[in-house]
Chains A and B, each alone.
Chain A
Amino acid sequence: MRAARPAVGILLLIPLSFAAAVYFGSVSFSAQEWSQLLQGQAPDTMRDILLQLRLPRAIAAFACGGLLALAGALLQALLRNPLADPYLLGVSGGASVGALSGMLLGMSTVATHGLSLLGASAAGLALLLFSCGPGGWQVHRVILSGVAIGAACGALVALILSLAPSGELHGMLFWLMGDLSTADNAWPAWIVFVLVLTLAQSLANALDAMVLGELKAASLGMPVRRTQFLAFAAATVATVAAVMLAGAIGFVGLVVPHLLRLAGINEHRLLLPLSAAGGGVLLVLADTASRSMAAPLEFPVGVMTALLGVPILLLLLARTR
């Protein structure tokens, strides 16, 4: 089977990326300490760093990357546009406005999280409201509404940044570019991840048909409106969950499904789970690099996803006929 090689490659990368995430970091351990760890006699500080800091962060990164890539794959199929990206929906803009307002007002982390969820929900609700006009629910209206809401949120974000005291700016910029250092509680994101992947998988055949256009999909017996609605809902929820966890990390949702398509995987029953896995791997690796390359300095992970993803994408594009 032609899809077997990339699939096996990605599945092998999952444990490797986790191993890298646990191995690398701002503190390095000696070979002796690692062998002690394998014998179960590691010092407590080492165990704490590996199990309390690095592993949970990798687990969070995997869910976040998987959610974004899944949302990207769904939107690209629905809009039949290779440039579709989770951030087109405008919900991450809403989350940004919420989170940055919280930071500006000096709120606690929990309250900031709450505000960001509120912002994302408000943007999602506005999206739903404006995309249902006369003549029912239409794809182009969803996307235009999303872009408009995103633009409004972008303006508000710029306003907040201009008002913010310089001490707050650093944290805000990290949030906007994506940051996993505060992503300590990943289980809500994992629940959403599993649910969205299951839902998306059940839509796989219909999404294959949707790529051919609405009318053709209908002539092949597919429930077009239902598929569009569920896939949009899944992509929105996935994006919100990812943004809540780690801020607005760009590029994963765009690049991962494309890498897979360029590797010859077009059937959604393979494309969706492999996008989820590939997005997870990419973000685990990007986060590991962002926190260990110039330790103790930490880059925003969004910078690394782009720096890792862009060369691979360009290389594959250049090789395709």
Chain B
Amino acid sequence: MLSARQLALKVPGRTLVEQLDFELKQGTCAALLGRNGAGKSSLLLAFAGLRAIDGGAVMLDGIALPPPRERARLIGLLLQDEQDSYWGSVLDYVSLGRLPYAAPIAGVGEEARVLAVRALAALDLIDHQAQSYRSLSGGERQRARIAQLLVQDPQIYLLDEPLTHLDLGHQALVMKLFVGLSRAGRAVVMSLHEPLWAAKACDEALLLYDSGRFLHGPVNEVMTVRNIEALYGCRLETPDAGNRMHFIPA
């Protein structure tokens, strides 16, 4: 599905990634790990076609990304920090995910509301649907954003820190949801700050190191204690809990 070939991303004075070859296959859930400022968000924006690239190419099924409206039906992006000041209800907010399909005068329409109700139910927000979006708490807003993305219904989900603001129970709910979507034939890339979730739920991991280096592969090959220690520049202790991997700072 989505692929990057020899991709380079730079910010003034720094190279974020260089010569990145990456392919996201259908049915895959990939984790994107790296330190603050390593370029995770920039990479997701580039994958979504919303950031200028400094070399190489991002492609969808082997060809250049389609024009914006079509692209929005195929690629959905959850932003890390949406400073949204939406004035309407939660239901209206979530319905806006259908905008890439909306006819000019008709608006998002009734179909969007049906999908929005379903998405709200999936994210445990159904009781808040009539409430104003601004009255939601941080975690509830994050879930409303995810619900909006479900209404957008893309083939590829690019998620920038989907677990921010969420309590443990809702972290589990959201991870289960996206793993389920990938099993159902969609593709997911999510940047995470919690290697535990990456190791537990994802199939692949893409580790972004400083100065443009990266590592990409199946989770159980790439996410070794040594690699993770090098990635975050911090020593880890690894309590033995059966066959599970644990990454806890020492």
A221/B73 contact (C-beta < 8 A), A205-B99, A216-B79 known: yes
B interface, over-half SS: mixed
**Cα A219 to Cα B85 with chains together (Å):** 17
Contact indicator B68/A218 (Cβ below 8 Å)? yes
Which bucket holds chain B's interface residue count? Answer: 35 or more
Asked if A82 is at the interface of the complex by the 8 Å CB criterion, the answer is yes
Contact indicator B50/A220 (Cβ below 8 Å)? no
> Within the complex, which residue of B85, B99, B132 is in contact with A220, where a contact is CB–CB below 8 Å?
B99
A208/B76 contact (C-beta < 8 A), A261-B87, A266-B87 known: no
Contact indicator B88/A215 (Cβ below 8 Å)? no
Further pairs besides A211-B86, A220-B152: 18, Cβ < 8 Å: A80-B85, A204-B105, A205-B102, A205-B108, A208-B107, A213-B83, A215-B82, A216-B84, A219-B79, A221-B68, A221-B71, A221-B73, A223-B68, A264-B88, A266-B92, A267-B107, A269-B107, A270-B107
Asked if B46 is at the interface of the complex by the 8 Å CB criterion, the answer is no
Contact indicator B100/A220 (Cβ below 8 Å)? yes
Closest residue of B by beta carbon distance from A81:
B85
**Cα A266 to Cα B90 with chains together (Å):** 12
Which residues of B are found within 8 Å of A201, using beta-carbon distances?
A: 105
Least Cβ–Cβ distance between A190 and chain B, in angstroms: 22
Contact indicator B102/A219 (Cβ below 8 Å)? no
Contact indicator B107/A204 (Cβ below 8 Å)? yes
What sequence of 0s and 1s flags, for each residue 166-208 of chain B, a beta carbon within 8 Å of any chain A beta carbon? 0000000000000000000000000000000000000000000
5 contacts between A and B (CB under 8 A): A81-B85, A201-B105, A209-B99, A216-B77, A266-B87
Asked if A222 is at the interface of the complex by the 8 Å CB criterion, the answer is yes
Which residues of B are found within 8 Å of A209, using beta-carbon distances?
A: 96, 99
Number of interface residues of A (CB under 8 A): 28
A202/B104 contact (C-beta < 8 A), A208-B96, A212-B82 known: yes
Which residues of B are found within 8 Å of A5, using beta-carbon distances?
A: none
Least Cβ–Cβ distance between A129 and chain B, in angstroms: 26
Within 8 A of A (CB), among B103-134: 104-108, 131-132
Which residues of A are found within 8 Å of B244, using beta-carbon distances?
A: none
Contact indicator B50/A215 (Cβ below 8 Å)? yes
Within 8 A of B (CB), among A218-237: 218-223
Asked if A321 is at the interface of the complex by the 8 Å CB criterion, the answer is yes
Which residues of A are found within 8 Å of B61, using beta-carbon distances?
A: none
Asked if B72 is at the interface of the complex by the 8 Å CB criterion, the answer is yes
What sequence of 0s and 1s flags, for each residue 47-88 of chain B, a beta carbon within 8 Å of any chain A beta carbon? 010100000000000000000111111011101001111111
Least Cβ–Cβ distance between A203 and chain B, in angstroms: 9
> Within the complex, which residue of B72, B84, B86, B92 is in contact with A219, where a contact is CB–CB below 8 Å?
B72
